[in-house]
Structure 1
């Protein structure tokens, strides 16, 4: 006979894993450290496996803990969505989500679809802009939740995923070999721009900009027609374009984090539900990727 998992224990386990600390998890959950430790031990007893071990940086997941973590987040996300929908905690109203241009396709579309299905009474609005502009919109109160692309280790948002920044060109194209290198960027305020041009200058690669208008589709056209190359996060590259990993003439690029920013204090239930949904469903993955 199958056993039943206690979602309260699952929630504590996830919080400890994310905070890497019993003390920090206790503060987040408004519990005593002893209560948190006891709940983790109860879950370990139920599953018959040790979930955490300690190193110099704090607590880290064991192999069993790693296997549980992704599934546990899915269980908790579904539990919270069902609870919210059935109890009517999500109020009617509007929620404004800010997203960088390049995440609108592969990255965010499935998340928006599933959120709308789960919370059909909420009017979700999408604001697309470069990451620095989205951050300003959040500070001004024009956006409720924002996904911001930032170099790994910068910013203080919640990291949902880490992605490689890659060079992208037309399949079989020759733009990559031209000098000065024709580079197409979405806008002058693009979060990737400083990293890209610093990398080119450090390798002494001459370059010129072909397009900077804030239109992701127009940027893609310049690449598809082999007018220029561009950079995108690896997970967002359209299938008909090529990631140029093997070109020794192009400098390597840093990884970028997709960080979520919102203001939890006093947030509407619908905003909190959106933040939870993004946390658990972005790219269909189970947390930050190396």
Structure 2
């Protein structure tokens, strides 16, 4: 049968060993002297070993007591840390973040899960829409943080990475070969005029396969190989990058940017910012790629840490 050590008794053990006597320890623990003595006695009886020696009216730990005190300090620290995270109002509150649809996956769910585990009393409210709407809402004070995908970031933007804008379609699809090329973009998509202008300049006829504002409808027509669309490289979801050579024009590059309203301070927002920078930043991506080519031992360690974060 599993046995559990009493944290209260372990705290008494550590305190007595630090101050060298039961009377002083009782005052620090806000207990009576007899209560502290009883806790130590029960702990010794449960383990079947003496934990203290009395030397010239001062208590000193036996070798077994020294060993147990090392474990006790670690257990007490973990206990106190857990209580702090779960009860301290410094780790309460709400963070409002906006992120464009096309860069939510796969990074953001992992980040939100990690934050929920680390700061369970903090609410992170996520809104996902197009960059133009996010920037408008940010200007009105509706968000603490936003991420954007844009060609010319505003002053105050933190540029995390630069990625290619690529043509995407259904896996093994042929819709990109049709003329006119059928496009699937919602009306407010920032990528829509970029794709249309690129095709027009290349002399390639195009028309729209969908209208309105339903992202799901647009994606369904692409998945059915009835149209093509554009996405940022690395964020194509279940679609496939079209390797069309010169048959389709280059779409250039876009930046993933981070805007911070600066209204929140402290370890919670710092942790979230650090994870966003690492997940979306070029620097961390380069480090991960470099690490992938160095020895299996380091690979195994990295894989373990990533699995723990997920």
TM range (shorter): 0.5 to 0.7
Partner residue, 2:135: 135
Alpha-carbon separation, structure 2, partners of 1:109 and 1:283: 16
Alpha-carbon separation, structure 2, partners of 1:232 and 1:101: 10
Moved more, 108-117 or 159-168: 108-117
Alpha-carbon separation, structure 2, partners of 1:89 and 1:196: 49
3-state DSSP class of the match of 1:250?
coil
- In the TM superposition, residue 205 of structure 1 has moved relative to its aligned partner by 1.3
- In the TM superposition, residue 125 of structure 1 has moved relative to its aligned partner by 0.9
Moved more, 190-199 or 176-185: 190-199
Alpha-carbon separation, structure 1, partners of 2:179 and 2:270: 49
Alpha-carbon separation, structure 1, partners of 2:283 and 2:112: 15
- In the TM superposition, residue 121 of structure 1 has moved relative to its aligned partner by 1.6
- In the TM superposition, residue 87 of structure 1 has moved relative to its aligned partner by 11
Aligned residues: 203
The alpha-carbon distance between structure 1 residues 246 and 178, as it changes in their structure 2 partners (threshold 3 A), is closer
- In the TM superposition, residue 172 of structure 1 has moved relative to its aligned partner by 2.2
- Structure of higher CA gyration radius: 2
Contact preservation (8 Å) 2:160, 2:282: no
Alpha-carbon separation, structure 1, partners of 2:243 and 2:115: 34
Partner residue, 2:94: 94
Alpha-carbon separation, structure 2, partners of 1:212 and 1:109: 29
Alpha-carbon separation, structure 1, partners of 2:161 and 2:216: 24
Contact preservation (8 Å) 1:200, 1:207: yes
3-state DSSP class of the match of 2:189?
coil
The 5 A counterparts of 1:72-221 are: 90-151=90-151, 153-156=152-155, 157-185=157-185, 187-221=186-220
- RMSD between aligned alpha carbons? 2.8
The alpha-carbon distance between structure 1 residues 110 and 188, as it changes in their structure 2 partners (threshold 3 A), is same
Partner residue, 1:276: 274
Q: Report the structure, 1 or 2, having the larger helix content.
A: 2
Correspondent of 2:254 among 231, 256, 263? 256
The 5 A counterparts of 1:20-99 are: 90-99=90-99
Partner residue, 2:76: none
Contact preservation (8 Å) 1:162, 1:288: no
Partner residue, 2:264: 267
The alpha-carbon distance between structure 1 residues 91 and 142, as it changes in their structure 2 partners (threshold 3 A), is same
Alpha-carbon separation, structure 1, partners of 2:286 and 2:136: 24
- In the TM superposition, residue 268 of structure 1 has moved relative to its aligned partner by 4.0
- In the TM superposition, residue 220 of structure 1 has moved relative to its aligned partner by 2.1
Unmatched runs of 5 consecutive residues or more in structure 1: 1-81
- In the TM superposition, residue 124 of structure 1 has moved relative to its aligned partner by 0.8
3-state DSSP class of the match of 2:234?
helix
- In the TM superposition, residue 167 of structure 1 has moved relative to its aligned partner by 0.3
- In the TM superposition, residue 128 of structure 1 has moved relative to its aligned partner by 0.9
Alpha-carbon separation, structure 1, partners of 2:285 and 2:102: 19
- In the TM superposition, residue 113 of structure 1 has moved relative to its aligned partner by 1.8
The alpha-carbon distance between structure 1 residues 284 and 253, as it changes in their structure 2 partners (threshold 3 A), is closer
Alpha-carbon separation, structure 1, partners of 2:121 and 2:172: 47
The alpha-carbon distance between structure 1 residues 85 and 201, as it changes in their structure 2 partners (threshold 3 A), is farther
- Structure scoring higher RCO (CA < 8 A, sep ≥ 6) equals 1
Contact preservation (8 Å) 1:107, 1:236: no
Alpha-carbon separation, structure 2, partners of 1:212 and 1:131: 19
